[in-house]
Structure 1
Amino acid sequence: MPVMHFRVQWPDGSEANCYSPSTVVGEFFVAGQRYALGDFVDRAREALHIGSERVREKYGFACSAAMDQLAQIEAQAQRFATDPQAEVQVVELL
């Protein structure tokens, strides 16, 4: 199963490399695009859940790495939750 990584820039300028067990992330994000914080988290949640389910279909168990990545994204997003203008940029899809 092909994995995909995506690099994001948080509202404070910090960057993070993120993991997906599936290329489905490419259906939810465009490199260079900025997303409102809530929209980014919603897209990441849906993409990572789909990726995890694809792993379940193929191997019989969910992808814990995808759920760990989602937890990291949600935790990081909480830091900016009070800023209604907060955006996340998807720097690149790898």
Structure 2
Amino acid sequence: MPEIRFEIEWPDGTHETCYSPSLVVKQYLESEAEYELPDFMERSRAALQEGSNRVQAKYGFPCGLALGQLQRLEATSAKYVNQDNVKVKLLKFIE
């Protein structure tokens, strides 16, 4: 199963390299696109859960790395929930 990494920029300018166990993330997010925080999180949840489900279908267990990545995104995004017009940018996919 081809895995992929992608680099995002949080609203405060910090960068994070994220992991997906599947290229399915490209169906949810686009390189160099900017997303409102709720939209970014909804797309990330769907992509990482689908990637984890694909691992489970193939190997019999969910992808711990994908679920851990989602937990990190949830934790970081919580810092910005009470701010207005918060955006996350997907800088690039790293293949």
| Residue 67 (structure 2) aligns with | 67
Q: Secondary structure at the match of 1:35?
A: strand
Q: Which runs of 5+ in 1 are unaligned?
A: none
Q: Which runs of 5+ in 2 are unaligned?
A: none
1:83 CA displacement? 1.0
| Residue 93 (structure 1) aligns with | 93
What is the identity, as a one-letter code, of the residue corresponding to 1:87? K
TM-score (norm 1): 0.98
TM-score (norm 2): 0.97
Q: Share of identical aligned residues, percent?
A: 39
Aligned residues: 94
1:84 CA displacement? 2.1
Write the distance in 2 (CA, Å) between the matches of 1:61 and 1:8.
27
What is the identity, as a one-letter code, of the residue corresponding to 1:78? A
